[in-house]
Structure 1
Amino acid sequence: MTSAIPNRIRAYLGWCPMTGAAQHPAPDQPAGAKTGDLADSGGSVTGRADRFMHLTIAVVVLSYVVAILILPFLPEVIPVHWNLQGKADGFAASIPGAFGLPVIITLVTLLFILLPKFDSRYAGFALAKDIYAIILFATTGMLLVMEVIFLLIAAGYDLPVITIIPVLIGFLFIILGSLMPYIHRNTTMGIRLPWTMKSDDIWKKTHEHGGPLFMAGGILTVIGSLVSGIWAMALMLVIIIGVTIYISVWSYRYAKTAG
């Protein structure tokens, strides 16, 4: 009975980054492959992408439900922005303040839906569009949690926003890092640098090298945020910027030696 529920959840989702990534088509999968037929134990790429897109739509709807439910408990003016030390430095009336993040979540979802339509290498994108859907779901899910935290603070709860936000972003980077090695060359997602876009080999090596680094950066961000107090935000920025610069330089040097 205890394993039946997780199995049912996995059967619906079709794929989990922790168990399905190893079964995902390798980055050197021929560009002409039919993506709908690329399947593992969770079904086709298209099927998995559709399931996670449905979950994302549920997150969008839930974000408005949360705002409506908590609105009667909010004061007339609520905080909507915090500085790097966790001090509120931006305020808004309760209605626009409560619905600000739901609108952002909606716009992010629409942007993610529209971007692939302009991908000049759509064949590569289509091979991993389920990963794209997972990234969208993880991003909107993180924003939904932020919305709940911000509204609870506005309602009078004393929550450590300076710690919670970096922790959430750290977990997002862990997810991104775990998925990066399985992203095919495209112009919508991934490490899109001039030299990675010119070669499948450079793209593949960059993402295989960068994925674990992004995961490590995410883990360091989570742990560091829990112990660094008011410096959590600054530490997060240093780690993320540092990892991004390092992998960009590593990728450029690899491109030079490979070229």
Structure 2
Amino acid sequence: MNKTAFRISLMMSMATLITLILSIPFLPDQVPMHYGIDGEVDDMGSKYELFILGVLPFVLLLLLQWIPRLDPRKTSYQQHTGPYSIFSVVIIGFISFIALIPALSAWGFEIKVPLLVQMATAVILFVSGNYMGKIQPNYTFGIRTPWTLESEETWRRTHRLGGYLFVAISFVFVITAFLPTTYDLLISIGVLLCGTLYLVIYSYIDYRSRENGVAEEKE
């Protein structure tokens, strides 16, 4: 993560934590902590639990900072610093937004959680898809299967396809968010899981085809 991305992520994390801490004295003892698939509150918790939510962005920020140092292929991160930095900012922003929802709901704001989660996920998928083709082989970031990690060409082809697929799925999230059904989020998640499974299968097929091609050339 570059310095600019780190500063932006740190400011979002600090703003989230400070907002939650300052809001605790003015909130009721019990606040919404979990929402069902229909967007209705199905679990309440102590307002002091908001402090834990406020710390989550910091924990994630530290993790995202450490990952490049722990990865055996840490040099790859020097080649895709831009995409990794953008991804980190988007993820920190998403977690910060999720952490604020209970407080906003307790203040009386009418929040359509499934809609907001779907739109936020669509943004993550769209951004990730646009930069996925620039991710270099590594063990912790990207589409990591035994076959993409074994072959750089399979890694490159799988991520290029994954980029197109994630952008397409981001539009699925947007479209289904406005469907007149309570299962719109489940439909979107189902499409995402199918797309991910397809990429895993594609990486295997691509790797095997290349391996067989090399074997034939040797013969």
Are residues 187 and 212 of structure 1, via their aligned partners in 2, closer, same or farther at CA, if it must alter by over 3 Å? same
Identity of aligned residues (%): 25
1:203 matched to 2:155? The reply is: yes
Structure 2 counterpart of 1:76:
29
* Aligned position for 2:83: 131
Q: Are 1:164 and 2:140 matched, yes or no?
A: no
Partner of 1:63 in structure 2? 16
Matches within 5 A, 1:188-227: 188-227=140-179
2:60 aligned with 1:108: yes
TM-superposed deviation, 1:226: 2.2
Correspondence for 2:47 among 82, 94, 99? 94
CA change 1:214–1:229 in 2 (3 A) is: same
Q: CA 1:118/1:231 → structure 2, altered by over 3 Å: closer, same or farther? A: same
Q: Which has the higher helix share?
A: 2
**Is the aligned partner of 1:148 residue 2:100?**
yes
What amino acid maps onto 2:187 in structure 1?
L
Q: C-alpha distance in 1, partners of 2:44/2:52?
A: 12
Partner of 1:52: 5
Give me the whole-angstrom Cα distance separating, in 2, the residues matched to 1:232 and 1:164: 12
CA distance in structure 1 between the partners assigned to 2:20 and 2:210 by the alignment:
52
Deviations 1:46-104 (Å, cap 9, x if unpaired)?
Answer: 8xx111111111111111122134324321101111122222222211121x2232211
Structure 1 residues 69, 232: closer, same or farther in 2, change over 3 A? farther
Stretches (4+) displaced over 6 A: none
After TM superposition, the score normalised by the length of structure 1 is 0.77
The residue identity in structure 1 corresponding to 2:117 is: I
Distance in structure 2 (CA, Å) of the matches to 1:231 and 1:159: 18
Instruction: Give the Cα separation in 2 of the matches to 1:196 and 1:236.
Output: 26
Q: TM-score, normalised by structure 2?
A: 0.90
Cα distance in 1 for residues equivalent to 2:56 and 2:42: 19
CA distance in 2, matches of 1:157, 1:61: 22
Q: Which residue of 2 aligns with 1:11?
A: none
Specify every segment of 5 or more residues in structure 1 that has no aligned partner in the other structure, as ranges: 1-45
